[in-house]
């Protein structure tokens, strides 16, 4: 990969890793679903403005609104809601590490749903290593700490939802939908889907006081940087370097989130969490073949 693509990749890891930090800050004053709505609604406004700038619009004949809604449900509403709620129970760094299991769940989902992506010997081994990493993360005392366990399970549920979204999202290429339009469509649909749920569950008008400047800044960072800008960067990397190299960002996001959580939120990951992160990282490296290529090069 070129130096420019590496810069994009590192930038994307910071943007997505920062989403866990921004969400944790915003939820000091706002409920999880309210934060989800603000994230997707502000991102939808930003991405639709970008579309207008390029002379395009979601409102056109033949637009796949059902597909946008399906993608918004699987890729935004469900995982964002589960992750943000999970972060009310566990540290943001741990949430990001659990989120890194998304490719492992994608292996399972693709194996059972698609006909062209089956789990072979190497991928099965990688899957087992990744599952061991999750077990190490949760630890032997996880069952006793039911609150922390619920938060971890919620983050794993989000990773599973992302896996279904990855398989479901393949239809956009077949439909001839441009990446930027797909991104704008899914966050716009997500905002419309989450709005009534958020109003019923969170009832934000009952907040004891309006959110402060810090919360608004966190929401802006979450929506404009970690969602709108991140999606644009994501699709640029996908076009320039392909999906295999894009998977590298999965290794980097937990590092960014753990560092931000430690430096700015005072979170201190346990040693077993680092051990679990290493195991998950090894499994992801095995999935995309980097370990095999390295060993063959070293021979």
pLDDT value for 213: 94
For residue 241, count other CB atoms closer than 10 A to its CB: 18
**74: nearest Cα among 151, 7, 171:** 171
**Rounded to an integer, what distance in angstroms lies between the CA atom of residue 63 and that of residue 292?**
42
- Name the H helices within 54-175: 65-72, 78-86, 92-99, 102-113, 121-138, 146-168, 171-175
Cβ atoms 83, 162 nearer than 8 A: no
pLDDT at 252 over 80: no
Question: Looking at per-residue confidence, does 173 or 263 come out higher?
Answer: 263
Cβ atoms 286, 126 nearer than 8 A: yes
**Rounded to an integer, what distance in angstroms lies between the CA atom of residue 255 and that of residue 175?**
36
**194: nearest Cα among 82, 275, 49, 51:** 82
**Rounded to an integer, what distance in angstroms lies between the CA atom of residue 223 and that of residue 217?**
10
**7: nearest Cα among 191, 169, 248, 193:** 248
Residue 140's SS3 state is: coil
**Rounded to an integer, what distance in angstroms lies between the CA atom of residue 10 and that of residue 245?**
12
Cβ atoms 195, 37 nearer than 8 A: yes
Of 17-21, 41-45, 244-248, 272-276, which has the strongest mean pLDDT?
A: 41-45
**Rounded to an integer, what distance in angstroms lies between the CA atom of residue 18 and that of residue 92?**
10
For residue 240, count other CB atoms closer than 10 A to its CB: 15
pTM to 2 decimal places = 0.82
What percent of the chain shows pLDDT beyond 70? 83
User: For the segment 190-218, what is each residue's pLDDT rounded down to a tens digit?
Assistant: 999 999 999 999 999 898 888 999 999 99
**Rounded to an integer, what distance in angstroms lies between the CA atom of residue 116 and that of residue 170?**
13
Mean pLDDT of the chain: 82
pLDDT at 90 over 80: yes
Which own/partner contact pairs does 169-172 have at CB distance under 8 Å and 24+ positions apart? 169/71, 169/75, 171/64, 171/67, 172/64, 172/67, 172/71
């Amino acid at each position: 990969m070129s130096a420019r693509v590496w810069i994009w990749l590192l930038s994307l890891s910071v943007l997505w890793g920062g989403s866990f930090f921004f969400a944790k800050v915003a939820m000091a004053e706002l409920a999880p679903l309210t934060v989800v709505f603000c994230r997707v609604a502000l991102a939808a406004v930003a991405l639709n403005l970008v579309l207008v700038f390029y002379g395009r619009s979601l409102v056109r004949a033949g637009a796949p609104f059902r597909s946008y809604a399906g993608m918004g449900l699987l890729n935004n509403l469900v995982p964002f809601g589960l992750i943000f709620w999970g972060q009310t129970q566990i540290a943001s760094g741990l949430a990001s590490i659990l989120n890194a299991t998304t490719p492992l769940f994608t292996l399972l989902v693709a194996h059972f749903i698609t006909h062209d992506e089956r789990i072979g010997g190497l991928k099965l081994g990688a899957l087992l290593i990744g599952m061991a990493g999750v077990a190490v993360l949760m630890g032997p005392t996880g069952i006793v700490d039911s609150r922390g366990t619920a938060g971890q399970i919620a983050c794993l549920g989000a990773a599973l939802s992302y896996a279904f979204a990855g398989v479901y999202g393949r239809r956009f290429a077949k439909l001839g939908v441009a990446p930027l339009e797909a991104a704008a469509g899914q966050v716009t649909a997500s905002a419309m889907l989450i709005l009534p749920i958020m109003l019923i569950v969170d009832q934000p008008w009952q907040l004891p006081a309006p959110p402060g400047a810090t919360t608004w800044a966190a929401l802006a960072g979450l929506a404009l940087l970690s969602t709108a800008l991140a999606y644009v960067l994501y699709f640029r990397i996908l076009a320039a370097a392909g999906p295999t190299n894009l998977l590298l960002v999965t290794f980097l996001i937990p590092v960014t989130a753990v560092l931000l959580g430690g430096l700015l939120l005072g979170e201190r990951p346990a040693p077993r969490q680092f051990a679990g992160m290493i195991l998950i990282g090894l499994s992801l490296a095995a999935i995309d073949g980097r370990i095999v290529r390295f060993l063959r090069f070293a021979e």
